Amino acid sequence: MARDEHKLLDADLVKCTSSILGARCLPLELNYVRVYVQDQPVPLLYVGPKQINFLMPSLIPAGPVPVRVVTEGITGPEITVTLADAAPALFSMAGGYAIATDVAGKLLTADAPAHAGDIVVVYLTGLGRTSPNPAMGEIPSYAASMVVYASLKVTLNDVAVDPMLIKYAGLTPGSAGLYQINLELPKEIGNDPEIRVTAGNPAAQTGLKLPVR
């Protein structure tokens, strides 16, 4: 494992070789560390003594895949992880709230909540392939909707949200591996509803609250 912590810096980014837009991509090596999935190096976001954050390529088919870490040429033990076409996971912050903003980009909190009828932007990971789909490790400068959109389900306090209220679900421009759902809040909604997101078979993670008054 890496000897020192290395957080991704702007200087670490590289030009994407497979992007026609001249975009920048995440590096395949940080601090002499690489991660291999199916014997191919994958993009890295963070390397530390006890943790490595990497971006799973979206073009790998669902199913079991081998993963291993290589540090200064020394290969660690191989493990197998199971991939799904989509496995949404919200980001949490203090108080059990999901990370979300208003349409102007202002963070929603208990002191600065959304209101019924507002459009909010909920951030998450795991929405899978998009159309168009970015190159491996590409930091997209564009919006792109998730491919398995028909399987997406958002619930507030265990009540399914009308799909017409989901205005967008896909990539967050400017961030690799980050997705967002632009959601119009129902007119009838209580305070701090629990939000859950699923897409297909994987069960939703433990719900988080959405700051609403």
Domain positions in the chain are 6-83, 89-209
Q: Is the pLDDT of residue 20 over 70?
A: no
Token code pair at residue 90: 């919200």
Tell me which DSSP letter residue 213 carries. -
Q: Name the CA dihedral angle for 93, 33, 30, 128, rounded to a multiple of 10 degrees.
A: -50
The string over 115-137, giving b where at least 16 C-beta atoms fall within 10 Å of a residue's C-beta and e elsewhere, is eeeeebbbbbebbbbbeeebbbb
pTM of model > 0.85: yes
Mean pLDDT across 19-43: 90
Do residues 62 and 85 make contact, with C-beta atoms less than 8 angstroms apart?
A: yes
Q: What is the pLDDT of residues 103-147, one digit of tens each?
A: 999 999 999 999 999 999 999 999 999 999 999 999 999 999 999
**Residues near 33 by Cβ (< 8 Å), separated by ≥ 6?**
1, 2, 44, 47, 52, 69, 70, 71
pLDDT in tens, 57-81: 988 999 999 999 999 999 999 999 9
Q: What pLDDT sits at residue 11?
A: 95
User: What fold is seen in the domain 6-83?
Assistant: Immunoglobulin-like (2.60.40)
